[in-house]
Structure 1
Amino acid sequence: MRTDFWKKTAAFGLQDDAVNILSNAADYKSQVLEQIAKAEQRIIITALYLEDDDAGREILAALHQASLTKPNLKITILVDYHRARRGRIGESKSEGNAKLYCEYNEKYNSNVKVFGVPIKAREIFGVLHLKGLVFDDILLYTGASINDVYVQQHDRYRLDRYFVLNQKGICDSIESFMNEIMLVSAATPRIDSRPIADYSEIKLAHKQLMRTLKKTKYKEPRASNKNQLSARMFLGFGRRGNDLNKLIKNLFDQTKEELVLYTPYFNFPAPLMRSLRKLLKHGKKVTIVVGDKTANDFYISPEKPFNTIGGLPYLYETILQKFLKSHNKYLEQGLLKVYIWKDNDNSFHLKGVCSDSKRHLLSGHNLNPRAWSLDIENGILLDDPNKTLEQRIEAEKVQILKHCIQINNYDELETMSDYPAPVQKILGKIKRVKGDIILKRFI
């Protein structure tokens, strides 16, 4: 693959002061509410979900109030269709978050519109994982969705990355994609007014939308970019012809000095694992920051009733432990640095790639097989040859590492024998039937 793969995509120019990095979940919430209040023309929110909880209700109410105050303000929300129509995992059957959307639509009667996007026939096989909140010409890009934990509504938080980009062309491109691809499809129904279309009613339109999405790219700028600092947008859906996957692999393969990776779930796809091994073999530095199993959003503390989904954080740790065991010499040499993030009962949701301090990928892509082949993902590559952003990126990293411990040897991680009995039982059963091989493709 050519070393300048990303340059096949035209770049949007960025001024040095057009990039701001927020450091925590509370600032993310403040920024969202501030931008809602400021917006005059358009608000576009794309997220996996907007939850029916205190934070979700507060932000959704602010959107409706803004619409009533400014009738010309166009407000569009896109969330995953299946996720919006079910309750949380483990809860009894319900209308899900769509109930909130319908109630607020009836209560406020504003111009806010909420649409549901089904990516696969069932949620387990793929979800809407596109990211980005547009407020006029400001893009707030984060892997976070909207709920109490993601915005630190109360005591707990789920840490992510939060970039604020002032770039009209990027916002225009996102709006074009939404209007010309997503919202023209009958497969993307309103989910804030009853009756909500059942999947069986949109099945044929959904198949066509999926074919279209696999061929779609974001619109590129018409004028050539003269700025050294620039941004390029990528869309990724499906295992084949996936530009975002190609970009990620290219960033891995073309790293000359150091690759920095953030991922909440340690489970790299085979092509990325091969690239990592090659980098280490050739003496390149690799830094990986991953959440502790207790910082995983599926973690269930031992004193609470256990269910099968609670085994996932332990499965991720076994994958990490196996990787470190086979690459322990690189840990000892200092080429491979692995940091485990843990802050009380808070959780970790960071993702991203940094190559040689010059190219920074902002994405919701978890660098796992699910993101690689099932979910629809997007990403923004910040190309910074003069390292204009280096101090800001490094300051973000320093903040993240404050709650990390560095692993110096693979045996510092717990193994199966250290896990609670219910976890040992479920993981043992999975491994006996080689179910872990299949399961890794979906997590």
Structure 2
Amino acid sequence: MESPHPPLARRLARRLLPLGRRLKGGPESLPAFAVPADAITTLEGPAAFRAALFDLIAQARRRIVLVALYLQDDQAGREVLDALYAARAARPELEIEVYVDWHRARRGLIGKAASEGNAAMYRDYAERLGDGVAVYGVPVQNRELFGVLHLKGFVIDDAVLYSGASINDVYLGRHGRYRLDRYHLVRHAGLAGSMADFVGRHLRDSEAVRRLDRAPLPATRDLLLEIRHLRKQLQHAQYTLPHEPVPAGSVAITPMLGFGRNDNRLNNTLLMLLRHARHRVVLFTPYFNLPRPVRATIGHLLRRGCTIDIMVGDKTANDFYIPPGQPFRKIGLLPYLYESNLRRFARSHRAHVERGQLNLWLWRDGDNSYHVKGLLIDDELAVITGNNLNPRAWVLDLENGLLLRDPSRQLIAQHEAEWASLRHHATRLADYHALDNPRRYPAEVRKLLRRLSRVRLDRLLNRLL
């Protein structure tokens, strides 16, 4: 008998049921680059991130490889392209490559009029200034719904500028508003080479990856076979790492890749790090929608007596929040869905919250937004990543991250300063009653939540978003 489920539902089910395996050994068993502590800098805020990016571009001599979800057609995006073309004009031998998500680059912004997207800007620059800046579109899935290029990291000569931020006005702090992320600069030839080599081998050389700065562009449906091959390759791809022991006194940095539900190295490593936590975990996520294995591990850590801090953005600091008085669109439901998740979590762990073992922090700073993600564990481990620590990142998007293992605790001052800076605009929840009760949500939100709950689509949305 033919299944009553449509093909789309079957494909979603296959991709959203996470599998995986436990990694043997602990963090010290992972191969890593030995990096001097003074080669690692934590940058504070979008302005410092923007300044570092433009300084590195201006000083580049050999290569620039920028990887982000998108490079937007706005002032900041054009400033970055201007800087890239100026660097190429000054040094014609400089190799410049930009990688963005194929689907995201070819559509307009959500809620805006239909357009050719950012790809039109890339073509305009190439027509006016030549093809010295190659912009590639990476389709890691057939549809944006199923997953996107969510790799992060800018490699400029022997430096890695790593952040979860993409490139647009709000990420770079233009026009008086910003979207907060984390920002780290690592100067190390081996790490930079490994990350640039991965992009060349697995993205640039793939038949599915096409230049967005050239016309005409093929339709996605004409690339389905190539996308399938790329997806299979990425499920087994990893960064090239040394296998020599890391000398005492160095910081061990392991770049990690994650894609798909089977044997996802990044996911498995994140779970291993959490399971090995002894005293303290600080977890950052912009959207409170933790994957089930992460929630289960947090529950286990709490029962073991670990102290856990989780910082999320207030619903008003969400990208999709629609202030009262503005026309409501369905996408504006998302901040309320995430807040409802957090309220249920806080209620189920209210005893841990009351005794201060579980600290839930809400970040808010005016009309700015929050995009921070990653982990700090036991003063010795840090994960900087673009992974939102949600089900979509867990099984659909192509993700990466850097694990910093610092047994001599040379970076502890940087980590504590970063954590203190983030708490400056955050409030600790006394209990779950500090969050809005869904009964007080706007009428349009309550109506949509009831509809979704009635047909259990709220669970599917939590897995997709």
Q: What TM bracket, shorter-length normalisation? A: over 0.9
Q: Counterparts of 2:150 and 2:182 in 1: how far apart (Å)?
A: 15
CA deviation after TM superposition for structure 1 residue 307, in Å: 0.7
Identity of aligned residues (%): 43
2:337 is aligned with 1:315: yes
In the alignment, is the contact (CA less than 8 A) between 1:42 and 1:135 conserved in 2?
yes
Give yes or no for contact 1:295–1:342 (8 Å, CA) kept in 2.
yes
Deviation at 1:96, TM superposition (A): 0.0
User: After superposition, what is the alpha-carbon deviation per residue over 1:346-391, rounded to whole angstroms, capped at 9, x for unaligned?
Assistant: 0000000111111101111111000000001001100001111000
CA apart distance, 1:225: 2.9
Contact kept, 8 Å, 1:43 with 1:76, in 2: the verdict is yes
Distance 2:85 2:455 in 1: 51
Does structure 1 residue 442 correspond to structure 2 residue 464? yes
Number of equivalent positions:
443
Q: Which amino acid aligns with 1:68?
A: A
Match of 2:236 in 1: 215
Shift in Å at residue 223 of structure 1?
4.8
Q: Whole-Å Cα distance in 1 between the matches of residues 26 and 120 of structure 2?
A: 44
In structure 2, the residue matched to 1:350 is 372
Which residue, 279, 282, 286 being the options, matches 1:257? Answer: 279
Amino acid at match of 2:446: Q
Matched, 1:73 2:104: no
Aligned to 1:57, what secondary structure does the other structure show? Answer: helix
Within the alignment, does 1:410 sit opposite 2:435 as a pair? Answer: no
Contact 1:3 1:254 in 2 (8 A): no
**2:11 is the counterpart of 1:4:** no
AA matched with 2:377: S
Q: Deviations over 1:274-325 (max 9, x none)?
A: 0011111111110001000000001111111111110000000000000000
Distance 1:32 1:254 in 2: 35
Matches within 5 A, 1:199-238: 199-221=220-242, 223-227=244-248, 228-238=250-260
Equivalent residue for 2:179? 158
Match for residue 12 of structure 2? none
TM-score of the superposed pair, with normalisation by structure 1: 0.98
Say if 1:9 and 1:220, in contact at 8 Å, map to a contact too.
no
Cα drift, residue 222 of structure 1: 5.8
Contact 1:5–1:247 (8 Å) recurs in 2: no
Question: Any idea what SS the aligned residue of 2:444 has?
Answer: helix
User: How far apart in 2 are the matches of 1:177 and 1:418?
Assistant: 49
- Structure 1 gaps, min length 5: none
TM-score by length of 2: 0.94
Letter in 1 for 2:178: Y
**What is the DSSP-based 3-state SS (H/G/I as helix, E as strand, rest coil) of the residue aligned with 2:128?**
helix
Query: Partners in 1 of 2:89 and 2:368 — Cα distance?
Result: 36
Secondary structure class of the residue paired with 1:61: helix
Structure 1 residues 38-437: aligned runs within 5 Å: 38-221=59-242, 223-227=244-248, 228-437=250-459
Runs of 4+ in structure 1 deviating by more than 4 angstroms, as ranges, are none
For the residue of structure 2 that corresponds to 1:128, the secondary structure is coil
Q: Distance in 2 between matches of 1:436 and 1:7?
A: 40
CA distance in 1, matches of 2:301, 2:27: 20
CA RMSD of aligned residues (A): 1.1
How many angstroms apart in 2 are the aligned matches of 1:405 and 1:239?
A: 35
1:437 Cα deviation after fit: 1.0
Other structure's SS at 1:76 match: strand
